[in-house]
């Protein structure tokens, strides 16, 4: 994180070192792949509560992500308050209706058809928790002086990936939701103007009758997402 005091480079020995054989490393990589293959984006949530401490640890994991100049330009608003969730749903559905009713988005809407989405977002109230991810476009000292953050979208994107993986590792499911525009989230969550909302994560346990779109399991094969330069 960035502070006013001058910080000098002070190298220290690597505190955590994993000494694994190639065989053990391969087994670990395969086990993690198989674990992440069981992650699904879910829109149907049960009413089963989730202790806040679980989500706090998931967010602590997100906070370990690398970031530009180690400025950690992110903020996570963890929301369980029913009134706030209802307000977010109401505002989000206003924007969603505009999107689905606009002919300028026909191609995008057609692309979403196999996913089964629409302007109604009950998950924003059904899920026991919402996590709103904010990107800190710039920092502000106590006296109002601004300082620059670096690689903000990249840094927050990495942290969000850490968070989603941590949520799955905790046995929970989540749904990424990105209404556009999202300025209402800054107001509802009482964040400063420097904070830009990037997404909402609805988090909880899946409903007993939860369904996922069949197309969601169609992932690009390795040869389409990897180039070798041995």
Nearest to 42 by CA among 111, 159, 126, 163: 126
Alpha carbon of residue 79 to chain centroid: 14
> Three-class SS of residue 3?
coil
Q: How many CB atoms lie within 10 A of CB 40?
A: 14
Distance CA 17, CA 22 (A): 15
Distance CA 134, CA 141 (A): 18
In this prediction, residue 106 carries a pLDDT of: 87
* Mean per-residue pLDDT, 206-220: 95
Distance CA 42, CA 35 (A): 16
Distance CA 216, CA 42 (A): 10
Distance CA 137, CA 12 (A): 30
Q: Which fold has domain 40-206?
A: NADH Oxidase (3.40.109)
- What is the value of pTM for the model shown? 0.95
Place of tokens 């990936």: 161
122-165: pLDDT as tens digits: 999 999 999 999 999 999 888 888 999 999 999 999 999 999 99
Rounded to 5 degrees, φ, ψ at 147 are -135, 155
What does the mean pLDDT of the chain come to? Answer: 95
Distance CA 127, CA 203 (A): 6
Quick one: pLDDT band at residue 2, thresholds 50, 70, 90? low
Rounded to 5 degrees, φ, ψ at 185 are -70, -35
Statement: residue 179 has pLDDT above 80: yes
Statement: residue 1 has pLDDT above 80: no
């Amino acid at each position: 994180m960035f502070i006013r005091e001058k910080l000098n480079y002070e190298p220290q020995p690597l505190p955590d070192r994993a000494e694994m054989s190639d065989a053990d490393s391969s087994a670990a990589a395969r086990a993690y792949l198989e674990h992440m293959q069981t992650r699904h984006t879910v829109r149907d949530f049960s009413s089963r509560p989730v202790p806040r401490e679980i989500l706090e640890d998931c967010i602590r994991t997100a906070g370990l992500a690398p970031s530009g100049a180690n400025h950690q330009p992110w903020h996570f608003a963890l929301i369980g308050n029913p009134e706030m969730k209802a307000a977010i749903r109401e505002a989000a559905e206003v924007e969603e209706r505009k999107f689905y009713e606009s002919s300028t988005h026909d191609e995008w809407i057609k692309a979403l058809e196999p996913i089964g989405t629409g302007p109604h977002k009950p998950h924003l109230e059904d899920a026991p928790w919402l996590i709103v991810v904010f990107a800190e476009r710039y920092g502000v000292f106590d006296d109002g002086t601004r300082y620059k953050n670096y690689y903000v979208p990249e840094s927050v994107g990495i942290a969000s990936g850490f968070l989603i993986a941590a949520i799955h590792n905790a046995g929970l499911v989540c749904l990424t939701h990105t209404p556009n525009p999202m300025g209402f989230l800054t107001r509802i969550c009482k964040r400063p103007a420097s904070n830009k909302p990037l997404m909402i994560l609805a988090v909880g346990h899946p409903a007993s009758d939860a369904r996922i779109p069949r197309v969601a399991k169609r992932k690009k094969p390795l040869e389409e997402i990897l180039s070798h330069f041995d």
